[in-house]
C-alpha cells in the first residue's frame, strides 16, 4: 500500500543505492541550494526512504525518510535525540517512527505532492502498526523574529504533554515558551507556520517548548510528536482516503 499513484505523482520506497543517492541529491538541493553534492549522514543506513516521483517523467519531486523504533526505550538512537533531551518519551510502549529529511524540489509548487506524501506516510504508519510519529519540524532561517506569532501559537495551543516534554540539550536554542508573553495573531501565525508543521498540528500534534537554532541547516526546528490514536477521526478518514 505504500506504492501509491495519485494523478501526476506516485510514491514508493527506495529500492537500492541509486534510489538513495537520488534522495540525497534532492536533499542537498533543497537544504543547501546546489545540485552538486549529497546530503547524507549515518542515519540513512537505518531508515526507509520514501520517494515521490512524477509519473510521466520519473523525476523525483519529494523525499523523506522513516526510522522505525520498536518502543520509546530506543528513542536515543533517533536523529532528534542529538538535539533534544528525550528521556520522558522512553516510557512510551508502542512502536514509533521518526520522519525526517522531508523536502520538496524547489521548482515544484503543486499541493498534490504534499497530499501524496501524507498518503504515503499514512500507509506506512498503518502497515507497520506505528503508534507515534515524531521528528523535527523546521522554520527557514535562524532568526526567530519573523516567526514570533507562530511560536506564540505553539506555546498557547500545542505544547507537548508535560511527561513527554523534551528538555534542552542543544547549545543554542530559542526558549519561546519562557520568553514570549504576546497573544498570537492567529492569521499571521498560520501564514508563518511551515506547511509540514501545520499538517502535524492539524493531526493533533504537539511540540517542544523551545526551538533549536541549527546553523548547519540554516533552520530553527521544534521537536514534534503525533500520537496516532489521538488524531481526530475526520482527519484520519481524509488521510486514509489518500492512502487507498
Nearest in space to 219 (alpha carbons), one of 130, 159, 144, 132: 144
Residue 138 is assigned to a structural domain of this protein: yes
Q: 13: which residues sit within 8 A by CB, 6+ positions away?
A: 2, 3, 48, 49, 50, 51
Residue 27 is assigned to a structural domain of this protein: no
pLDDT 10s digits, 63-117: 999 999 999 999 999 999 999 999 999 999 999 999 999 999 999 999 899 889 9
Tell me how far the alpha carbon of residue 135 is from its chain's centroid.
5
Structural domains of the chain, count: 1
Residue 182 is assigned to a structural domain of this protein: yes
pLDDT 10s digits, 33-66: 998 999 999 999 999 999 999 999 999 999 999 9
Residue 11 is assigned to a structural domain of this protein: no
Residue 9 is assigned to a structural domain of this protein: no
Q: Which class for 244: exposed (0-12), middle (13-18), buried (19 or more C-beta within 10 A)?
A: exposed
Residue 227 is assigned to a structural domain of this protein: yes
| Pair 2, 8: CB distance under 8 Å | no
| Mean pLDDT score, 12-21 | 97
Q: Which three cell numbers stand for residue 38?
A: 549529497
Q: How far apart are CA 175 and CA 191, in angstroms?
A: 21
pLDDT 10s digits, 115-161: 899 999 999 999 999 999 999 999 999 999 999 999 999 999 999 99
Residue 42 is assigned to a structural domain of this protein: no
Q: Is the pLDDT of residue 1 over 70?
A: no
The beta-strand segments (E) located in 26-150 are 48-54, 60-69, 84-85, 96-104, 132-140
* Domain ranges, residue 198: 67-243
Residue 167 is assigned to a structural domain of this protein: yes
Q: How far apart are CA 166 and CA 222, in angstroms?
A: 10
Q: Which three cell numbers stand for residue 65?
A: 525518510
Amino acid at each position: 500500500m505504500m506504492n501509491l499513484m495519485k494523478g501526476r505523482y506516485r510514491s514508493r520506497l527506495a529500492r537500492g543505492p541509486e534510489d538513495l543517492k537520488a534522495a540525497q541529491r534532492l536533499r542537498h538541493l533543497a537544504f543547501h541550494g546546489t545540485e552538486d553534492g549529497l546530503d547524507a549522514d549515518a542515519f540513512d543506513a537505518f531508515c526507509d526512504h520514501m520517494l515521490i516521483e512524477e509519473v510521466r517523467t520519473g523525476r523525483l519531486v519529494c523525499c523523506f525518510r522513516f526510522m522505525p523504533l520498536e518502543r520509546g526505550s530506543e528513542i536515543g538512537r533517533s536523529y532528534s535525540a542529538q538535539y533534544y533531551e528525550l528521556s520522558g518519551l522512553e516510557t512510551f510502549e508502542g512502536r514509533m517512527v521518526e520522519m525526517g529529511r522531508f523536502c520538496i524540489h524547489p521548482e515544484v509548487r503543486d499541493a498534490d505532492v504534499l497530499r501524496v506524501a501524507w498518503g504515503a506516510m499514512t500507509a506506512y504508519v498503518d502497515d507497520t502498526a506505528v503508534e507515534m510519529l515524531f521528528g523535527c519540524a523546521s522554520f527557514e532561517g535562524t532568526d526567530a523574529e519573523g516567526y514570533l506569532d507562530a511560536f506564540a501559537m505553539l506555546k498557547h495551543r500545542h505544547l507537548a504533554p508535560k511527561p513527554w516534554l523534551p528538555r534542552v540539550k542543544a547549545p543554542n536554542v530559542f526558549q519561546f515558551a519562557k520568553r514570549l508573553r504576546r497573544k498570537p495573531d492567529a492569521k499571521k501565525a498560520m501564514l508563518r507556520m511551515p506547511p509540514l508543521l501545520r499538517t502535524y498540528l492539524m493531526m493533533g500534534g504537539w511540540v517542544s517548548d523551545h526551538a533549536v537554532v541549527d546553523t548547519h541547516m540554516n533552520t530553527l526546528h521544534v521537536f514534534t510528536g503525533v500520537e496516532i490514536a489521538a488524531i481526530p477521526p475526520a482527519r484520519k478518514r481524509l488521510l486514509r482516503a489518500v492512502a487507498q
